[in-house]
């Protein structure tokens, strides 16, 4: 059995293709027209020395490789059983397999070369005579965490990539250990995390192209397994920032029964293959799969050995969830209060085929309405968007006013947060307008995504609206008899997001404990109520890395929801000073503090600890509230400390301001209650600090930075470590949609690697 191999960047030389251009004159002219320069002069003469530049190298190699293949084919070369290419060479393998035509491939390669050629300040080095485990240990021990293993060429030849300074340091360290390390003459850290921006940009470009079914199996660099039909675009995009698993690719072909390897246009890969065959064992390929490939004529397109279907960013999670919301990815950005999850963030997510929720908590009705109008003005093509709805047990009339605003503006998607029970406002949003369509499905076009962290709350949302609320709404004329009847057949929420330990309000749940219990509860309730449609269940809290997202999907999450990592983006509606603080935190830099909106109950929020005093001061206030019954009982020394350092105002001044606020909002009864109950007055005075500290953070008053209240969780710290050394290290380069795309792409890649490892070990 035979495999044809195509070399990649590094195999170019002046004069290459000299004997091919005249033979394939039509292709030569077509290539020159597409590229805008003479491909023949570039390859043969290279008078300006451009052939070594990535944006020129890659198209040149693609053209010469293609012509070399066509000549071998025209000379009667037998069709191979498999095709493979090293990095850029993979495009020629796909061309030979008829995934695309010559022109399409060249346009793809041209764009790829431009994007990779634009990378700067990166470097690569070839490391000889050391295995992967030992090299990884040396890099780790010397804190060379920004370096990735880019090419696994043979068992003893690995190319590393990363920032130039780190590559130079690695060369010194490896040389000191008597390990051969040669720095390569390249401008970028190809096939490493440094290429994520290029990967994302190329992903957008390649997604606009159609690809045919492969007539011959092609081994993918990123997986060392055959391409799956339908995954060409995603795999090519991933290849840019993923390792080239060349050694394992050849081992796979050896295991599939390949005895002959034919390299087009050079000998670089042939030498690698010879070394791999001497030093490495074949990878396991099921015997009947290899036999089937051996006896099937290549012209009849032999079936590739069966391998686990490759996951892509588009296939993670639930197709039903994506269909319900009209989105391309099972990825949601959650609401962050006071407009931190800003309209601009929601719009960016919607245009990227994902779902974002506007953080309306703490905003006035006028501010919410302004945000709705902006979002609706920007998303005119049916893109998905949603708004947050916070529980308001103290002032239920305000909660109902928000719902009525949503209904007036035909808001379809709501994220319900901080609810402990179902309220009339929630029921109105869910029940009004319910009807059966022609297929018998019940709905009104609106959906409530419930964020829950306790089983009893989850049960309430996964159950129909409570009878007593339905009867009251019916009696009040808020719903019709038909709506009431249909409401008994559907849950309040068909989409539930389980929230583990997170930024802001949190019960500190452990996802691996909480989520399986919620899945079991869903199973029980669906069976009990016999719902026509299944409930989709997602996971939030602690998701800031591919490993965390992979764990969520492996546990069965239909979607994932991120929060803290989006607060440190260009679109987030908080101050630049807060973003600068957040981009540098690690996983240990958060703390629990009392929640200002539920201060008296002892509810907690998770907040930023590094660089601020807020959590210490907030916990001090709650301790004082717990030990004393009136403000007057607080010791004078403590009182002065709070007034001068925390509040910058006296208790009396704070109370005057608080009283004026409640009276202006038509909440005079709160003032009356406080003046009659000193304990309640103390709570309101202390709660003032929580609003004050939030305003300081949102406005970025740096002279009062120690008092910033910033809701965030350790997921952001983990995210910061993941993107360290890449363009995303700075918040100024972070965009919520790009984070989502990158997280999903790397999650799919991580899961595919894991599945391949498990399969090999089986």
**Catalytic, out of 86, 87, 318, 505:** 87
pLDDT at 293: 44
Question: Is the confidence at residue 289, as pLDDT, over 50?
Answer: no
549-577: average pLDDT? 95
Band of residue 285 on the pLDDT scale cut at 50, 70, 90 = low
Question: Is the confidence at residue 371, as pLDDT, over 90?
Answer: yes
pLDDT at 306: 46
Does 191 participate in catalysis according to the annotation? Answer: yes
| Greatest Cα pair distance in the chain | 100
pLDDT at 255: 92
Packing angle, helices 467-475 and 424-431, rounded to 10: 70
Looking at 35-49, 269-283, 303-317, which range is the least confident one?
303-317
pLDDT at 384: 94
Distances 269 to 8, 90, 397 between C-alpha atoms, Å: 9, 13, 72
Question: Is the confidence at residue 183, as pLDDT, over 60?
Answer: yes
Name the average pLDDT for the chain.
91
DSSP 226: B
Element (H, E) at 452: strand 447-452
Question: Is the confidence at residue 405, as pLDDT, over 60?
Answer: yes
pLDDT at 259: 93
pLDDT at 756: 83
Band of residue 337 on the pLDDT scale cut at 50, 70, 90 = confident
**DSSP string computed for 663-714:** HHTT-HHHHHHHHH-HHHHHHHHHHHHHHHHHHHHHHT-GGGGGG---B--H
DSSP 731: G
Which has more pLDDT, 307 or 84? 84
Element (H, E) at 372: helix 365-378
Say how many C-beta atoms besides its own lie within 10 A of residue 495's C-beta. Answer: 24
pLDDT at 287: 39
**Catalytic, out of 86, 187, 191, 711:** 191
Rounded Cα–Cα distance for residues 117 and 252 (Å): 31
Residue in this structure with the two tokens 């010791």, named with its chain if needed = 635
Residues 450-498: tens digit of each pLDDT: 999 999 999 999 999 999 999 999 999 999 999 999 999 999 999 999 9
244-251: average pLDDT? 94
42-57: average pLDDT? 93
Task: Spell 223-235 as b/e; 16+ CB within 10 A means b.
Answer: bbbbbbeebbbbb
**Are the C-beta atoms of 189 and 162 separated by less than 8 Å?**
yes
pLDDT at 230: 78
End-to-end CA distance of the chain: 25
Query: Which 3 state secondary structure label does DSSP give 280?
Result: coil
What are 575's two structure tokens? Answer: 């101050």
DSSP 327: -
pLDDT at 762: 59
Rounded Cα–Cα distance for residues 158 and 361 (Å): 52
Domains and CATH numbers, the chain: 2-117+195-310 (3.40.366.10), 122-189 (3.30.70.250), 319-574 (3.20.20.70), 590-709 (no CATH)
Burial of 700 (0-12, 13-18, 19+ CB in 10 A): middle
- Contacts with 91 (C-beta within 8 Å, 6 or more apart), sequence order: 62, 85, 105, 108, 109, 112, 236
Band of residue 761 on the pLDDT scale cut at 50, 70, 90 = low
**Are the C-beta atoms of 339 and 367 separated by less than 8 Å?**
yes
Residues 88-138: tens digit of each pLDDT: 999 999 999 999 999 999 999 999 999 999 887 899 999 999 888 889 889
């Amino acid at each position: 059995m035979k495999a044809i191999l195509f070399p990649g960047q590094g195999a170019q030389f002046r004069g290459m293709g000299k004997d091919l251009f005249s033979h394939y004159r039509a292709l030569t002219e077509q290539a020159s027209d597409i590229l805008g320069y003479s491909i023949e002069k570039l390859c043969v003469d290279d008078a300006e020395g451009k052939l070594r530049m990535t944006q020129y190298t890659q198209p040149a190699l693609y053209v010469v490789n293609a012509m070399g293949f066509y000549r071998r084919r025209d000379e009667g070369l037998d069709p191979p059983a498999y095709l493979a290419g090293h990095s850029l060479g993979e495009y020629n393998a796909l061309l030979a397999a008829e995934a695309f035509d010559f022109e399409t491939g060249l346009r793809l390669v041209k764009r790829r070369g431009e994007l990779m050629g634009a990378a700067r300040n990166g470097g690569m080095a070839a490391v000889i005579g050391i295995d992967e485990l030992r090299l990884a240990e040396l890099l780790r021990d010397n804190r060379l965490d920004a370096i990735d293993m880019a090419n696994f060429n043979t068992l003893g030849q690995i190319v590393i990539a990363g920032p130039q300074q780190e590559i130079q340091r690695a060369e010194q360290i490896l040389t000191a250990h008597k390990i051969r390390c040669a720095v390569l003459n390249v401008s970028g850290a190809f096939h490493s995390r440094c290429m994520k921006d290029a990967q994302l940009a190329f992903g957008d470009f390649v997604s606009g192209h159609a690809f045919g079914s492969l007539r011959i199996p092609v081994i993918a660099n990123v997986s060392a397994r055959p391409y799956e039909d339908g995954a060409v675009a995603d795999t090519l995009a991933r290849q840019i920032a993923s390792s080239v698993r060349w050694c394992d690719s050849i081992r796979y072909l050896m295991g599939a029964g390949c005895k002959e390897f034919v390299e087009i246009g050079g000998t670089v890969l042939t030498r690698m293959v010879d070394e791999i065959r001497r030093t490495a064992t074949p990878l396991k390929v099921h015997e009947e799969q290899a036999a089937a490939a051996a006896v099937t004529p290549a012209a009849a397109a032999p079936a590739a050995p069966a391998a686990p279907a490759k996951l892509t960013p588009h296939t993670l999670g639930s197709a039903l969830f994506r269909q319900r919301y009209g989105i391309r990815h099972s990825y949601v950005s959650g609401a962050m209060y006071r407009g931190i999850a800003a309209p601009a963030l929601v719009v960016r997510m919607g245009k990227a085929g994902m779902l974002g929720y506007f953080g309306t908590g703490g905003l006035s009705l006028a501010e919410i309405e302004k945000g709705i109008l902006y979002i609706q003005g920007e998303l005119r093509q049916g893109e998905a968007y949603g708004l947050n709805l916070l529980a308001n047990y103290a002032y239920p009339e305000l909660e109902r006013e928000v719902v009525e605003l949503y209904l007036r503006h035909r808001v379809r998607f709501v994220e319900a947060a901080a609810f402990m029970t179902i309220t009339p406002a929630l029921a109105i949003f869910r029940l009004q307008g319910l009807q059966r369509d022609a297929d018998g499905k019940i709905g009104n076009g609106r959906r409530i995504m419930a964020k829950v962290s306790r089983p009893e709350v989850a049960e309430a949302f996964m159950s129909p609206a409570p009878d007593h609320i339905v009867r009251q709404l019916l009696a009040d004329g808020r719903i019709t008899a038909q709506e009431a009847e249909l409401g008994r057949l559907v849950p309040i929420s068909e989409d539930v997001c389980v929230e583990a330990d997170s930024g802001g309000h949190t019960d500190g749940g452990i996802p691996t404990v909480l989520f399986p219990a919620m899945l079991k509860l869903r199973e029980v309730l669906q069976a009990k109520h016999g719902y026509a449609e299944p409930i989709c269940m997602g996971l939030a809290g602690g998701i800031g890395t591919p490993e965390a997202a992979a764990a969520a999907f492996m546990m069965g999450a239909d979607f994932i929801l991120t929060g803290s990592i989006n607060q440190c983006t260009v679109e987030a509606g908080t101050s630049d000073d807060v973003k600068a603080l957040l981009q540098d935190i690690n996983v240990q830099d958060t703390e629990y503090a009392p929640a200002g909106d539920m201060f008296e109950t002892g509810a907690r929020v998770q907040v930023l600890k590094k660089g601020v005093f807020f959590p210490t001061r907030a916990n001090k206030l709650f301790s004082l509230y717990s030990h004393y019954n009136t403000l007057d009982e607080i010791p004078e020394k403590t009182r002065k400390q709070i007034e001068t350092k925390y509040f910058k105002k006296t208790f009396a001044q704070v109370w005057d301001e608080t009283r004026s606020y409640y009276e202006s909002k038509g909440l005079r009864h709160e003032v009356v209650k406080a003046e009659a109950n000193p304990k309640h007055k103390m709570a309101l005075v202390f709660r003032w600090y929580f609003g004050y500290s939030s305003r300081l953070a949102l406005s970025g008053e740096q002279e009062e930075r120690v008092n910033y209240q910033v809701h965030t969780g350790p997921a952001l710290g983990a995210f910061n470590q993941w993107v360290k050394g890449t363009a995303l290290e700075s918040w100024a380069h972070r965009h919520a949609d790009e984070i989502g795309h990158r997280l999903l792409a790397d999650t799919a890649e991580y899961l595919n690697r894991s599945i391949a490892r498990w399969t090999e070990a089986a």
